[in-house]
Amino acid sequence: MEKNLLFFDIDGTLACPGQNPSERTVSAIRRARAKGHKVFLGTGRSKASVPEAVWEIGFDGGIYSAGGHVEAGSSVLSDRSMTAEMVRTICTAMETVNMEFSLECASKNYRRSPELSAAALSDMSGGSTELQRILASMDRNTLKDYQGEPVYKVTFLARSIEQIETLANSLDERFKVVHFSNLMQSSAWIAGEVSDRLVHKGLALKELCAYYGKSPAQSIAFGDSMNDAEMLLAAGIGVAMGDAEERVKELADQVCESCQEDGIACTLERMGLI
């Protein structure tokens, strides 16, 4: 059997928001690794913010901060944070449109406002998996606490698509602006992120394939949001979760069951990898 490199987004893919990975998903990934396949995280989270229940599965490396930090085993293959000037440009643009935002660093996040609107926290269930992740991970660090640590991306909470479009139009071609579709239109906020256009999960996937002497054609990636887009396109087989955004399903090679339905395990079994 050909040995593949397998990449898994976390939120909404490997684990449902606010929950630990299911026993079936954990077992499937461990069985794949036992068969000789290499398994990697491919997440927008920093390495420090990966939940313990996810770590316990066991991985051969990972893509963190949406491609900003890449590791194979204990080796760091690349670390690409944004320049201080890029961060200042993003912050100025977001302040101009009065947008809530957070600087995502390796070990901490720094948010603009000390308090978020209660409306944002009142109904996390109707938002995207990324919105739920951002709200759930909010801490007390604010911009006044920021001491110049490397920033990998800037996440935001917008009140409308128009606000996001205004932001995107104010930034130059160095930046990539993505937003995540909510499950319900009534959700108070739309989550999104701004990052270096040249740094993404797809580039990181190719780095890991090259490190292990594999072609990207020998890789399989699972995701559910637009920050997974480049990873799904770079992989030999890109798999979108059943409850992924429609935009993600359209660019994927396959659509599997949802996270709640153990889509990862179902797919690995269908492919004969476990």
pLDDT digits (tens, 9 = 90+) for 66-119: 999 999 999 999 999 999 999 999 999 999 999 989 999 998 889 887 665 444
Burial (CB count <10 Å: 0-12, 13-18, 19+), residue 257: middle
Q: Which helix (H) or strand (E) holds 153?
A: strand 153-158
* Residue 59 identity: F
What order do you get walking across the sheet with 5-8 strand by strand? 75-79, 69-72, 61-64, 38-42, 5-8, 219-223, 237-240, 254-255
Looking at the chain, which residues constitute the CATH 3.40.50.1000 domain(s)?
5-80+199-270
Return the CATH architecture of domain 84-196.
2-Layer Sandwich (3.30)
Q: Cα–Cα distance between 228 and 224 in angstroms, integer? A: 7
Which regions of the chain carry the CATH code 3.30.1240.10?
84-196
Q: Tell how far CA 156 is from the center of its chain.
A: 14
Q: Could you tell me which of 105, 78, 54 has the C-alpha nearest to residue 204? A: 78
Nearest CA to 220 out of 3, 2, 4, 1 is that of 4
Tokens of 165: 């479009």
Q: In this predicted model, what pLDDT tens digit does every residue of 127-151 receive, in sequence order? A: 555 555 565 555 568 888 899 999 9
Average pLDDT of 237-253?
95
Tokens at residue 145, please?
A: 């606490």
pLDDT: which is higher, 192 or 182: 192
Question: 160-169, 181-190, 223-232: which range is least confident on average?
Answer: 181-190
Other Cβ atoms closer than 10 A to 165:
14
Q: Mean pLDDT in the chain?
A: 89
Pairing of strands 254-255, 237-240: parallel
Q: Is 60 exposed, middle or buried (0-12, 13-18, 19+ CB in 10 A)?
A: middle
**Strands laid side by side in the 190-196 sheet:** 109-111, 100-104, 153-158, 190-196, 175-179
Q: What CA–CA distance (Å, rounded) separates 133 from 246?
A: 20
Taking the C-alpha atoms of residue 35 and residue 201, their distance in angstroms, rounded to an integer, is 25
Once rounded to an integer, what is the mean pLDDT over residues 146-161? 92
**Could you tell me the two tokens for 214?**
């594999």
Rounded CA separation 243/23 (Å): 20
Residue 181 has pLDDT above 80, yes or no: no
CATH code for the domain defined by 5-80+199-270: 3.40.50.1000
Helix (H) or strand (E) holding 71: strand 69-72
Query: What is the structure's pLDDT at 1?
Result: 66
Q: Where are the alpha helices (DSSP H) in 18-102?
A: 23-34, 52-55, 84-96
